Amino acid sequence: MTNGVDLNQEALIAGNDPGGMLKALWNLPEQCEEAERIAQAIDVNFTATEIKNVMVTGLGGSAIGGDLLRVYAGDKAAVPVIVNRDYTLPAFVDASTLLFAVSYSGNTEETLSAYAQAKEKGAKIIVLTTGGKLGQLAEADGYPVIKVPGGISPRAATGYLLIPTIVIMAKIGLLPDAGDEIKDLTGHLRVLREHLKPAVPVEQNLAKQLATKFYNRLPVIWGVSGTTEVVAQRWKGQINENAKAPAYWAVLPELNHNEIVGFEKPENVLKQLEVVILRDRADHPRVQKRIEISKTIIKDAVSGVTEVYSSGNSTLARTFSLTYTGDYTSVYLATLYGIDPTPVKMIDFLKQKLAED
Ligand code: F6R
C-alpha cells in the first residue's frame, strides 16, 4: 500500500487509465506483427550500394525508435545510423542518405522542417506516420509512406515506429533479415505481458514492485552503451510522460568518468534517488565489472539500487523485455500518483502556443 493505493486492486488501476495506455501496452506484440506486415508491402526503388548513411529524424516517441534502430544496427550494418531531433539536418545529408522522417501524428513542426530540408538535399526519404501534414506532403512528393494505424499515444507505438525501419533496411540489404528475430520478439512479449499485467499481484509483478520503489523518489536509470543505453532513456521518458514525474538517465562506461563522482552532496537529496541498473548478457565484460564497483560506491548514499536483467534470446527480445518492464512500471507509478498516464498536457500546450505564430 503506497499513498493509500493498493496496486493489487486491478479495478483501481483500470479506473486510473481512462485513455487506455495499458491496453496499448498489452497489444505491443500484435502491433509489432502488424508493423512488419505493413513495412513488407512497401516498395523501395534503391539499393544498399547507394546508401552511405541512415538517418531517422523525429522527436519524442517518434525518435526513440530511431535510437533503438541505431543500437540494433550498431553491430550489424555497414553504414551508420544517426538520429536527428531538430528542425535542421547536418551538412553531410545528401542523396546517399536513407532518411526516415518519423512522426506519429505527422504534424510535428521540427520533423516537417527536417523533411523539407531532406527533400532539398535529395535524400532518399521514407516517411513513417499515421498521416497528418507529413503524410500528405510525402504522398504529393511521391516518397514511400509507411502508414501505421493511429489512435494511440506515439510513445505507445514503438512497434509501429521501430519495426518498419528494420524491415526496410533489411529489404534493401543494409541489415540481415529480421523475420525470425521479430517472431522471437513477439513470442517473448506475449510471455512477458502475462507477468506484468495488472492482474498479477505486487508480490510477483516486477513492474509493480519497481513503481513502488520509485514512488516519492527520484528515479535514476543507468544503461550500458551498445546494449541498454536507449532503454534507460526510454524508462526516463516514460516516467516523465506517463507518471508526470521527473527521472534521469545515464550510461556506462561514460558515467564512470563524471556522474559517479557526484554521489557525495547534498546528502538529503541523494537519499531521494532510486537507482535502477539495466543489465544485459551482452554488456561488455569490463562494464559488468564497472557495474559491480559502481554499486558499492553509491549504495549507501542513495535510497536504493536495483538491478533489472533483460530476458529472452534475440537482441530485439532482450531490448524490448526491458522496455516493456519500464513501460508497465511507469503506468503503475501513474496509478500510485493518481494520474491518468495518457494525456501530455504540457507537450500539447507547447505545440499549441508555437502554432499560434
Ligand atoms: C506523446 C509523445 C511525444 C511525441 C512528440 C512528437 O506520446 O510521446 O513525445 O512523440 O511530441 O510527436 P509525433 O510523434 O506525433 O511526431
Which residue do the cell numbers 509512406 mark?
A: 145
Confirm or reject: Cβ of 344 under 6 Å from ligand 1: yes
Domains, the chain, with CATH or none: 10-18+188-337 (3.40.50.10490), 23-177 (3.40.50.10490)
Secondary structure (DSSP) of 17-61: -TT-HHHHHHTHHHHHHHHHHHHHT------GGG-SEEEEE--GG
State the pLDDT at residue 357. Answer: 79
Question: Does position 3 have pLDDT exceeding 90, yes or no?
Answer: no
Q: How confident is the model at residue 245 (pLDDT cuts 50, 70, 90)?
A: very high
Question: Does position 53 have pLDDT exceeding 70, yes or no?
Answer: yes
Q: How confident is the model at residue 2 (pLDDT cuts 50, 70, 90)?
A: confident
Specify the ligand 1 atom closest to the Cα of 62: 14
Q: For this structure, is 351 an active site residue?
A: yes
Q: 59: CA distance to ligand 1 center in Å? A: 6
**Mean pLDDT of the 52-67 span:** 98
Q: 292: CA distance to ligand 1 center in Å? A: 36
Annotate 214-230 with b (16+ C-beta within 10 A) or e (fewer).
Answer: bbebbbbbbbbbbbbbb
State the pLDDT at residue 5. Answer: 87
Dihedral class, residue 143 (left if φ above 0, else alpha if ψ from -120 to 50, else beta): beta
Confirm or reject: Cβ of 153 under 6 Å from ligand 1: yes
> DSSP letter at 150?
-
Confirm or reject: Cβ of 29 under 6 Å from ligand 1: no
Confirm or reject: Cβ of 327 under 6 Å from ligand 1: no
Question: Does position 30 have pLDDT exceeding 90, yes or no?
Answer: yes
Q: 85: CA distance to ligand 1 center in Å? A: 12
Residue from 203, 257, 265, 267 carrying the catalytic annotation: 257
Confirm or reject: Cβ of 115 under 6 Å from ligand 1: no
Q: How confident is the model at residue 344 (pLDDT cuts 50, 70, 90)?
A: very high
| pTM for the structure as a whole | 0.97
Q: How confident is the model at residue 1 (pLDDT cuts 50, 70, 90)?
A: low
Give me the torsion for CA of 30, 33, 34, 39, rounded to 10°: 160
